[in-house]
Structure formats: C-alpha cells, structure tokens
Amino acid sequence: MYKYMRIQGRDNSYITKYPKGVFSLCWNLINDKVMTDEDEKLFISIDEWFKENLPEPEPCKNRETVITFFKCESTEHMIKKLEPAIMLLEKYKKPYDVVYTNFVGTIVYEDDWQVAVSVKDGKMV
C-alpha cells in the first residue's frame, strides 16, 4: 500500500522545475483560453470546493518551492472530487500521470490529507 499520491502533468513548473500538478494544469488550460465556458465553470467549482475543504499549506501560500501529495489513506473522497478535472485533462489531451509513492523527500508541511515537500532544481530534497 502506498502512502502518497500526486496527479501531475509532463510540463514542468517554472517555479519548482517539477511537473505541474492537476490544479496548475487545469488553470493553464483556462488561462490559455482552451476550455469552453462550461468546462471552465466546472473546474472552478472543483477548485473552490478544495479551497473550502482542504487547508492551503503555508509553504504554498508563501510561494516556496514545494510540491504537494495527497495522503492515500485519508483522501479517497477527495480523489473522487478530482475525477471531473482529470476528465478535463483527457478531453483537452493534456498528458498526466498518477504517481503513487512512499518516498517523498523532506516534508515541510503536513495535515490530515496532504503533505508539502521541498523541491530544488526539479528534484525532491
């Protein structure tokens, strides 16, 4: 059984040099005017649900070079909430990978549902 999971693309973030997460990927589709208005509204509703129900890690608020992973044992219902966003990635042919691991490097933030991990030059520290 794995401890952590991350949905990530194949394009690197300019901040972390690590593959962008699912939220960044969808926001990029919106910012690039790729999504329809209906799909944009769908994703924004998903993003708002997460903002209301999941704490934003302090290192993310501070724009530190971190990436986040969901904790597998406590986030099954959250992953279901992300399924429509994943379907949007597929609809707009944005490649992504679902990564499961037990090894995430240095955890700089942790709550019941997620961890934030330090990243330097595109690698977990």
Q: Render pLDDT for 62-110 as a digit per residue (tens, 0 to 9).
A: 888 999 999 999 888 888 999 999 999 999 999 999 999 999 989 999 9
- Per-residue pLDDT, averaged over 7-11, amounts to 96
Residue of 77 and 6 predicted with greater confidence: 6
Q: What is the pTM of this model?
A: 0.91
Nearest to 104 by CA among 67, 65, 63, 64: 67
Token digits of residue 8: 């990530």
Q: pLDDT band for position 60 (50/70/90)?
A: confident
How many Å is the maximal CA-CA distance in the chain? Answer: 39
What angle, 0 to 180 degrees and rounded to 10, lies between the N-to-C axes of helices 76-91 and 22-31? Answer: 40
